[in-house]
Amino acid sequence: MNIIDHRLCEARFIPSPNHDERRAPDDLSLIVIHCISLPPGQFGGEGVTQLFTNTLDPEEHPYYAGIAHLRVSAHLLIRRTGELIQYVPFDRRAWHAGVSCYRGREVCNDFSIGIELEGTDDSSYEDVQYTRLNEVIDALLAAYPTLSREHITGHEHIAPARKIDPGSGFDWSRLGTNP
């Protein structure tokens, strides 16, 4: 996989308006793994893209009424099929971590890349998702020397009081890391 102009060449790019400049552009030191499915527990639909592009219709599903107002994003989504969708260039700050802290550093969005896996907190992930995730991580490590495998973590680890993703179904050993 290749990264050119802070975009993964193998990913479909759907720009999200939910991003801004990083406070310290050279301080990219963390990869955060998340999971998402919209509606919850349903895979393959357009809900995630609609959420990240502020086009989620609150009338389409009862769950959407409570989240359609959110302004959130991630850098990348890895669908259960292995399809890659990028929403925010890696040099920009995506809005994925919220109130967060990693090893004493707060506001993880400032120095992290957020990768969403299509899934739920309590379900297993597909083999192709692990394959793609490892390929993406290798590409990120090659493109950004400030990143390392030692600094890959889950949303549950940087916001433990409010988040549980990627959850119990995620096998950290398949990344060769243990957050």
Q: What is the DSSP string of 67-121?
A: TTT-----SEEE-TT--EEE-S-TTEEES-S-S-EETTEE-GGGGEEEEEEES-T
Mapped onto helix, strand or coil, the DSSP state of residue 127 is helix
Structure-token match 């009862």, residue found: 62
Q: Which residues pair with 77 in a beta bridge?
A: 85, 116
Say which of 21, 83, 106, 116 is annotated catalytic: 116
Contact 83, 128 (CB under 8 A): no
Active site residue 116: yes
Say if CB 75 and CB 136 are below 8 A apart: no
The whole-angstrom separation of Cα 177 and Cα 57 is 38
Phi, psi of 118, rounded to the nearest 5 degrees: -70, 115
* Active site residue ranges: 116
